[in-house]
Structure 1
Amino acid sequence: MVLPSAILLPLYLYPSVTTDPWKPLYDSLTAHPNTQFDIVINPDSGPLLVGPSDSALSDYVVAVSKLRTYPNVNIFGYVHTGWGAASLQPALLSNISRYATWNTYTPANISLDGIFIDEAPNAYDPTIYTNLQTATNLARSSELPKIILNPGTVADAEYFALADYIIMFEGAYANFNASEMAALSQAVRANSSVILYDSTLAEADQNTLVNQLVDLGLGSLDVTTTNTYDTWSALWTAFTQQVSSAVGVT
């Protein structure tokens, strides 16, 4: 069964408890309880080098525990690989293990659902594949079972054995070619994601694009007017409504 497209949100905005900058997300989760949201958190280009009991993570504890009250959320911890650089493998494994400690934190429920691996390779290389396999195996054995790989471009099919989703395009809307996604098999599209930033589309045109992407059967998507992941799209509320309508849950 092909699942409806989810909203994929790289959320690199610091969750200050005094200003509550994640409120637009909480509002959308409430407004669209039957839409799946896959949220990527990124405390410090990965986890901070402290445990969740450290005061440096106190704002994240509050914000993530609030996210955990919504049943339509998957939460992913951000890590990066330097495009598969062997020198970063020890840090990659350490960061995954550090995120795993969030799942055993007892004062609050800040458990994560999986790992978002940024700067993933797109071309198959047996050594890099083995390194990524070691990393994804560690995540799954650490109760972080869901994996997103982000090469940001169309990836070789071998990597789908390691991931639930692969981001097959991340870039400016002006550079996006939907025909590249349409050329993928339906089975591949169901496990593929796109992130389009710097969108200049009006709300109605964004709606047309969202319907096109959902009709392609993509696993998840993000369309934003910004060129950074630490601020909200001017059309965020419209986007969440458009995806919910396109997948037929509102």
Structure 2
Amino acid sequence: MTDKNNGKAWVVMPLYYYPLTEKTWKPLHDAISAHPDTNFLVVVNPRSGPGDYPLPGQDYVREIPRLNAFSNVCTVGYVKIDYCRRPIAETFAEIRQYANWATHHSGLYVEGIYVDETPNHVSAERSVYLDAVVHNPGTPPEGDLTAFGNPDLVCICEEPYHKLRSENLQKRLEDFRIDRSRSIYQISGVPAGEVQDVAQEMCRRGQYVFVTDLVDDFYESFGPSWNEFVGAVNRSRCVEVK
């Protein structure tokens, strides 16, 4: 995945929010327009995957090209693999479906695949699953990333804020540290008034960041802290936590 801005953090938005009308994703459009020097990694997820065959439905056909029209947006398509227990043929079929969108509609495409429920332990049986652009084990993988298919990006922490601050998780993040340029942090439940500081801290730890004060449904809405979070990422600088 190409770094368009020399190490500045990206906003990550796992967009599991059905675009019922043209206004549903307006907070995202407004943020993208307001911060043209900040890149956005947007995970589109019509139905825990690409949705109806061959196209995901008229609302997504309308809205995904609008996102792709922004030069500072990279869309990736969601698939989940149930920690490599899902039949691989089903996963490949969903990836092909995403790839075929553009043959039906101009502007309807994704630039990569976001693979959810990936393992953090590698094995021979799992290796066939792990050649993907973006992995989400939700915790740091144990060992060299080449053993996991050498993904472009890895969500190493998808946790509520109180768990992020736990001693056990902090130790794991230190013991299995991944390069900032490949690390995603997705943090929910940040106390009111602390979103900006937490977002900037996460930007120093990982180049791809999602932070919200919402405790529930944080991928299905934007929440009161959305603009505060995006502004914090926009002000971030490439200074890695040592």
Q: What TM bracket, shorter-length normalisation?
A: 0.7 to 0.9
Query: Could you tell me how far 1:191 is from its partner in structure 2?
Result: 0.7
Query: Could you tell me how far 1:180 is from its partner in structure 2?
Result: 4.5
Instruction: Mark the CA change 1:172 to 1:186 in structure 2 (over 3 Å): closer, same or farther.
Output: closer
- The aligned counterpart of 1:247 is 237
Q: Tell me, in whole angstroms, the C-alpha distance in 1 between the residues paired with 2:209 and 2:156.
A: 10
Whether 2:40 is the aligned partner of 1:37: answer: yes
- 2:102 partner letter: N
SS in structure 2 opposite 1:66?
helix
Q: Residue 9 of structure 2 contacts residue 207 of structure 2 at CA under 8 Å; is this kept in 1?
A: yes
The alignment of Structure 1 onto Structure 2 pairs a total of residues equal to 227
Query: Could you tell me how far 1:201 is from its partner in structure 2?
Result: 3.1
Q: Residue 115 of structure 2 contacts residue 135 of structure 2 at CA under 8 Å; is this kept in 1?
A: yes
Query: Could you tell me how far 1:61 is from its partner in structure 2?
Result: 1.1
SS in structure 2 opposite 1:126?
coil
- Cα-to-partner distance string for 1:54-96 (whole Å, 9 max, x where unaligned): xx611101111111110000001100010111x4211111100
Q: Residue 121 of structure 2 contacts residue 141 of structure 2 at CA under 8 Å; is this kept in 1?
A: yes
Query: Could you tell me how far 1:159 is from its partner in structure 2?
Result: 3.5
SS in structure 1 opposite 2:141?
coil
Q: Which has the higher helix share?
A: 1
Q: Tell me, in whole angstroms, the C-alpha distance in 2 between the residues paired with 1:32 and 1:157.
A: 36
Whether 2:152 is the aligned partner of 1:164: answer: yes
Whether 2:204 is the aligned partner of 1:219: answer: no
- Give the gaps of 5 or more residues in structure 1: 137-146
- The aligned counterpart of 2:126 is 128
TM-score normalised by length of structure 1: 0.83
- 1:188 partner letter: D
Percent identical across equivalent pairs? 25
Q: Residue 140 of structure 2 contacts residue 176 of structure 2 at CA under 8 Å; is this kept in 1?
A: no
SS in structure 2 opposite 1:246?
coil
Q: Tell me, in whole angstroms, the C-alpha distance in 2 between the residues paired with 1:153 and 1:70.
A: 31
- 2:77 partner letter: G
- 1:172 partner letter: P
Query: Could you tell me how far 1:148 is from its partner in structure 2?
Result: 1.1
- Structure 1 window deviating more from structure 2 (33-42 vs 154-163): it is 154-163
Q: Tell me, in whole angstroms, the C-alpha distance in 1 between the residues paired with 2:213 and 2:101.
A: 32
Query: Could you tell me how far 1:219 is from its partner in structure 2?
Result: 2.2
Question: Of 47, 51, 57, which residue of structure 1 is paired with 2:50?
Answer: 47
- The aligned counterpart of 1:119 is 117
Query: Could you tell me how far 1:4 is from its partner in structure 2?
Result: 1.6
Q: Tell me, in whole angstroms, the C-alpha distance in 1 between the residues paired with 2:172 and 2:75.
A: 25
Q: Tell me, in whole angstroms, the C-alpha distance in 2 between the residues paired with 1:186 and 1:200.
A: 26
Instruction: Mark the CA change 1:16 to 1:242 in structure 2 (over 3 Å): closer, same or farther.
Output: same
SS in structure 2 opposite 1:201?
coil
- The aligned counterpart of 2:197 is 208
Query: Could you tell me how far 1:231 is from its partner in structure 2?
Result: 1.1
Whether 2:72 is the aligned partner of 1:84: answer: no
Q: Tell me, in whole angstroms, the C-alpha distance in 2 between the residues paired with 1:188 and 1:166.
A: 10
Query: Could you tell me how far 1:198 is from its partner in structure 2?
Result: 1.9
Q: Tell me, in whole angstroms, the C-alpha distance in 1 between the residues paired with 2:140 and 2:113.
A: 20
Query: Could you tell me how far 1:185 is from its partner in structure 2?
Result: 8.0
Q: Residue 151 of structure 1 contacts residue 167 of structure 1 at CA under 8 Å; is this kept in 2?
A: yes
- The aligned counterpart of 1:5 is 9
Instruction: Mark the CA change 1:61 to 1:184 in structure 2 (over 3 Å): closer, same or farther.
Output: farther
SS in structure 2 opposite 1:238?
helix
- Cα-to-partner distance string for 1:136-171 (whole Å, 9 max, x where unaligned): 3xxxxxxxxxx1100001112433543111011111
- The aligned counterpart of 2:187 is 196
Whether 2:141 is the aligned partner of 1:155: answer: yes
Instruction: Mark the CA change 1:46 to 1:187 in structure 2 (over 3 Å): closer, same or farther.
Output: closer
Q: Tell me, in whole angstroms, the C-alpha distance in 2 between the residues paired with 1:122 and 1:21.
A: 34
Question: Of 235, 239, 249, which residue of structure 1 is paired with 2:225?
Answer: 235
TM-score normalised by length of structure 2: 0.86
